[in-house]
Amino acid sequence: MGSSRLFAISDIHGHVEGLRLLLKQADYRPGHDALVLLGDYIDTDPATYAALRTIRELVAEGAVALAGNMECALLERCARSGGDGLVSKALLQFAKALPLYHRQGGCVFVHAGLRPGVPLERQLPGDLVGIREEFWTTPYTGEETVVFGHTPTRRLGAEPGELWQGAGMLGIDTGAKHGLRLTLVELNGRMAYSCATVHGNRYADYRCAAW
């Protein structure tokens, strides 16, 4: 058995078929490799809610799944309405129990980012799942690399569908929601596995490249 690898993926937005493809192409081995999922598994379309079942299965196999703003919005909506008939109570309980950050392999994993100057343990949930410019435009001084999603990397200055790297930061939302690419990142091996999500070419144009 070779050494274990550390993977991360964010902002799936219902593209579970693409997620499964990338895990297979990367030869992800549950129970041996580590996988951190950074939230926004669903989108506004209720048809995407079933993605939570896939995420729950991956967690049962050993993956770590964090909450994104889409999961938080779903929980808030269900709390106001007394429930959502399109989501089972079991999946809602699963979503409610998702942590907001994770530390592993010299990285801090979070959906959106960190409020500058605030210790990790004192970060507000709203910032962890929703912060944007205040995070990635402020020089980061921490020792761990912050791996985050939420803001599509093209908005950070990367080429459409590509990863974004800043000082101590790695943006991995490569725009699956917007018809660009879904990317699975191998942190210790510095490899990126991605596929297209554009309608008409969905989950095709598979790529594997060093970063």
Tens of pLDDT, residue by residue over 157-195, are 999 999 999 999 999 999 999 999 999 999 999 999 999
Q: Which residue range is the domain that position 183 belongs to?
A: 6-210
Query: Is residue 1 one of the residues assigned to a domain?
Result: no
- How high is the pLDDT of residue 84? 65
Asked if 9 and 37 touch (Cβ cutoff 8 Å), the reply is yes
pLDDT of residue 2: 63
Q: How many CB atoms lie within 10 A of CB 204?
A: 12
Q: Which pLDDT band holds residue 83 (cuts at 50, 70, 90)?
A: low
- CA 104 to chain CA centroid, nearest Å: 15
> Does the structure show a pLDDT above 90 at 81?
no
Contact predicate 185/1, CB 8 Å? no
Say if 26 falls within a structural domain.
Answer: yes
Given this model, what pLDDT does residue 207 score? 97
Q: For residue 20, tell me if it sits in a domain.
A: yes
Burial class (CB in 10 A: 0-12, 13-18, 19+), 65: buried
- Domain at 204, CATH number: 3.60.21.10
Q: Which two tokens stand for residue 48?
A: 């995407």
Task: For 3-59, write each residue's pLDDT tens digit.
Answer: 899 999 999 999 999 999 999 999 999 999 999 999 999 999 999 999 999 999 999
Q: Residue 93 falls within a domain, yes or no?
A: yes
Rounded to an integer, what distance in angstroms lies between the CA atom of residue 200 and that of residue 202?
6
Instruction: Tell me if 139 is assigned to some domain.
Output: yes
CA distance 80 to 89: 15
pLDDT band at residue 65 using 50, 70 and 90 as cut-offs: very high
Lowest mean pLDDT among 24-33, 75-84, 149-158: 75-84
Q: Write down the residue that tokens 């596929």 correspond to.
A: 195
Nearest to 8 by CA among 43, 32, 44, 33: 33
pLDDT confidence of 79, banded at 50, 70, 90?
confident
Please give the pLDDT value at position 64. 98
Residue 65 belongs to some domain of the structure = yes
Is 90 part of any domain? yes
Q: What total of structural domains would you count in the chain?
A: 1
Q: Measured at the alpha carbon of residue 145, what is the angle toward residues 123 and 57, in degrees to the nearest 5?
A: 75
* pLDDT tens-place string over residues 113-142: 999 999 999 999 999 999 999 999 998 889
Q: How far from 163 is each of 23, 156, 158, 173, 182, CA to CA, in Å?
A: 18, 10, 7, 7, 10
pLDDT-based confidence at residue 82 (cuts at 50, 70, 90): confident
Q: Look at residue 109 and tell me if it is in a domain.
A: yes
